[in-house]
Structure 1
Amino acid sequence: MSALAHADHPIAAPVSASSVQSLVRQAACPPDALVLDLGCGAGEWTLRALQEFPAAEAVAVDLSEPALRRAGAAARERRLDDRVTFVRGDAREHRPPRACDLVLCVGATHVFGGLEGTLRAVDPLVAPDGAVLVGEGFWERPPDRAALTALDATPDDFRDLAGTVELVQQNGWTPVFGHVSEPGEWDDYEWSWTGSLTRWALDHPDAPDAEAALAAAREHRGGWLRGYRGVLGFVCLLLRRRPPRT
């Protein structure tokens, strides 16, 4: 279902293509950079990093075989497949061949138990002068019951934006660039998510999962429009280590 839902929005986050490119460019990786994408999905962030840094190499990890197949096809289409290795496995267990210049974890912090767990997990994987690009939800305003029900969340699952940045700094990192998703980016992502599922189900009415796809799209759309729209925000932060005090 997730692979189908992201068919029209391979970035798999409420972030526009131009914003992705701006975030990646700000990482300013060295020519021989190694990029690691944890929870890569269809690999869009990885591939855009490779396009931005023409001599870089990348390793991208995900558990979803359909998503990785799609990522591999996209890499071949863009002639980037000789510079990226897609790994099917648990992002929590993967160890890169050397310290990474850029570690990506956008919309996948739940794999590590949240933002704080993600920052701790990636710390030993990042080169001394390297960077982390993390994408995380935050509360635009205090969530009501409708939002929490739609997201199957509790108020403690996220902080507000200031609290999110504070948490980052408490864990030894500091933002050098960031992007808060705009309402239009959110709407485009949600309409794409529900629309991709709906279109597939309508085009394949005899498929075993057609009715389930329609139901999933309908439920998701209702939860978004009547629940968390304007309540849940999303921020991408480009982080570098804060030097220790002397």
Structure 2
Amino acid sequence: MSRERISALAHARHPIKSPLGDDSVGLLLEHGLPRGDERVLDLGCGTAEWLLRALASRPRLRAEGVDVSEVALTRARGTAHGLGIGERLVLHHREAADFASARRFDLVISVGATHAFGGLLPTLAAAREHLAPGGRVLIGESFWDRAPSPEAVEMFGELDDLATTVDRVVADGWTPVHGHVSTRAELAAYEWSCWGSLASWALDHPADPAAAQVREAAAEARSQWLHGYRDSFGFLSLVLRRTAELDV
């Protein structure tokens, strides 16, 4: 079974592919979309869950999403049409880092997708190119909440701590106007949901040729979390504006 299919199964009960609860997602969108009639771009949108939620609750909103996965985009289109919001959503099948548009956006989202641009600051640089004057960026990034184990560093790389992460963003010319640090409960709920969904699928489909692979993937990921990064991994979401608005 492909990694993409495994990821889809893992997120079946947690469509936001980051450790954020529904209330946290809603509050981040409120701060990112203060008017309700904005134009929104999600770079690395996956199944476009952020955009779908924003569009469903804001009838004057228009949105575009970019992702490399045609499977995820097809699912997003189907969900959007089922919700009656398909005419306000445009999806682009391409690498997020290569996306270009003459249109500028009031909110640019990139949550949990900074790897597509080579890190936090390159992601902000890309977002800036798409940002309308006075616009906002909603970005999500990992950090070390506590000193990591060698195994955790091997998995996630050399992340900064929370304060250093925010300091880097501010030094790059951005001002946080809202932020959310995922709670330990949100982090745990995300992990249990993902690996529990995989394990459940494997148990429900014992005759499937991929059942053993999926079961092993769930067990391995669960073990990595419990023994490797559970106590050290953190996730930060920020709503940002350019510090010098005239420089946008």
Residue 125 of structure 1 corresponds to 130
Is 2:33–2:107's contact at 8 Å kept on the other side of the alignment? no
**Equivalence for 2:3:** none
Alpha-carbon distance, 1:227 to partner:
0.9
Question: TM-score, normalised to structure 1's length?
Answer: 0.93
CA contact (8 A) 1:25 1:52 kept: no
Which residue identity lines up with residue 219 of structure 2 in the other structure? Answer: R
How far residue 64 of structure 1 moved from its aligned partner, in angstroms, is 1.7
Stretch of structure 1 that moved more, 217-226 or 31-40: 31-40
The answer for the alignment partner of 2:8 in structure 1 is 3
1:86 and 2:91 are equivalent in the alignment:
yes
Alpha-carbon distance in structure 2 between the residues aligned to 1:182 and 1:30: 28
Give SS of 2:106's match: strand
Between 42-51 and 120-129, the greater mean CA deviation after superposition: 42-51
Contact kept in structure 2, 1:36 and 1:96, CA below 8 Å: no
Amino acid of the structure 2 residue aligned with 1:216: A
Q: Report SS of the residue matched to 1:8.
A: coil
Q: Aligned runs of 1:1-246 on 2, under 5 Å?
A: 1-149=6-154, 152-154=155-157, 156=158, 158-243=159-244
Quote how far apart the aligned CAs of 1:29 are: 4.4
Residue by residue over 1:215-246, the C-alpha shift from the partner in whole angstroms, topping out at 9 and shown as x without a partner, is 11111000001111120100100000001799
Is the contact made by 1:29 and 1:102 (CA closer than 8 Å) also made in structure 2?
no
Distance of 1:102 and 1:142 partners within structure 2: 33
**More divergent stretch after superposition (198-207 vs 175-184):** 198-207
Question: Larger deviation: 103-112 or 196-205?
Answer: 196-205
Q: Deviations over 1:89-110 (max 9, x none)?
A: 1101112341100000000000
| % identical equivalent positions | 47
Cα distance in 1 for residues equivalent to 2:100 and 2:36: 22
Q: Distance in 2 between the 1:244 and 1:32 partners?
A: 20
Query: Could you tell me how far apart the structure 2 residues matched to 1:183 and 1:24 are?
Result: 21
Residues 171-198 of structure 1 show CA distances to partners (whole Å, capped at 9, x for unaligned) of 1111000000001111111011101111
8 Å contact kept, 1:3–1:66: no
Question: CA RMSD of the aligned region, Å?
Answer: 1.7
The CA deviation at 1:52 is 3.8
TM-score, scaled relative to structure 2: 0.92
| 3-state SS of paired residue (1:12) | coil
**Total equivalences in the alignment:** 242
CA distance, structure 2, for counterparts of residue 216 and residue 41 of structure 1? 21
Q: Which amino acid aligns with 1:201?
A: A
The gaps in structure 2 that reach 5 residues or longer are: 1-5
